[in-house]
Chain A
Amino acid sequence: NAGVTQTPKFRILKIGQSMTLQCTQDMNHNYMYWYRQDPGMGLKLIYYSVGAGITDKGEVPNGYNVSRSTTEDFPLRLELAAPSQTSVYFCASRTWGLQPQHFGDGTRLSIL
């Protein structure tokens, strides 16, 4: 199994540009999450989803949007990129119960 796949792996954006970070999982997990990790810091939850059509805000949702039209996909949208959004973004998924979240390899995003 591929697990959690994130694309792209690296991206440089100009201030004010928009982009979508893709996340796909092939484990049929209901729960999916987006985090950002700033240098030398832990992860902060941006948005999460408990199933197709259901999303909710995490700790740091401002400047981001998500959608969950299928079980497999959970894209993260940046509408007006700002330098403060320079970070590494991780997508994760989890099955039912108390199993740990499985993480993708991350997207390294720089906004200049």
Chain B
Amino acid sequence: ELKVEQNPLFLSMQEGKNYTIYCNYSTTSDRLYWYRQDPGKSLESLFVLLSNGAVKQEGRLMASLDTKARLSTLHITAAVHDLSATYFCAVDIGGATNKLIFGTGTLLAVQP
């Protein structure tokens, strides 16, 4: 069974601290997406990682992909309260159809 596992599932951190969210998956894929979801809202695309070794950065967030280890990371630098949200990774298993398998999400709470 294909699995996409994120850890931790819940992360409470203080402003200014650094932390990493991990996304492990059990099938071969070289395409992975990160999304952000605010409570009661839709999903917003953060990063598209399309090959082994891909690294993308936007503000305080940096995502990377290691297809050989079947692992993606989302690193948070100097967290601020506005980053509080749920973060999902999604693995593309569908080739041209872009069928995504989502992880269970990491709820990030940044405390002042």
Contact = CB atoms under 8 A, between A and B. Distances in A.
Nearest to A56: B97
Interface in B36-75: 41-45, 48, 50
Nearest to A99: B48
A100 interface: yes
Contacts of B25: none
Given A42-B102, A43-B102, A44-B102, A103 B43 contact: yes
Nearest to B33: A100
A109 B88 CA distance: 22
Interface in B66-94: 88, 90
A27 interface: no
A105 B102 contact: no
B48 A98 contact: yes
Contact of B99 (A41, A58, A100, A105): A58
A45 interface: yes
A43 B101 CA distance: 8
B104 A42 contact: yes
Candidate in B42, B44, B96, B104 with the most chain A CB atoms within 10 angstroms: B42
Given A44-B102, A98-B98, 8 more contacts: A31-B98, A42-B104, A43-B88, A43-B102, A48-B97, A90-B42, A98-B50, A101-B45
28 contacts: A31-B98, A33-B100, A35-B102, A40-B105, A42-B90, A42-B102, A42-B104, A42-B105, A43-B90, A44-B102, A45-B99, A45-B100, A48-B97, A50-B96, A50-B97, A56-B97, A90-B43, A92-B43, A98-B48, A98-B50, A99-B48, A100-B33, A100-B35, A100-B48, A101-B33, A103-B42, A103-B43, A105-B42
Interface of B: 4, 31, 33, 35, 41-45, 48, 50, 88, 90, 96-105
Closest 4 CB pairs of A and B: A42-B102, A100-B45, A103-B43, A43-B102
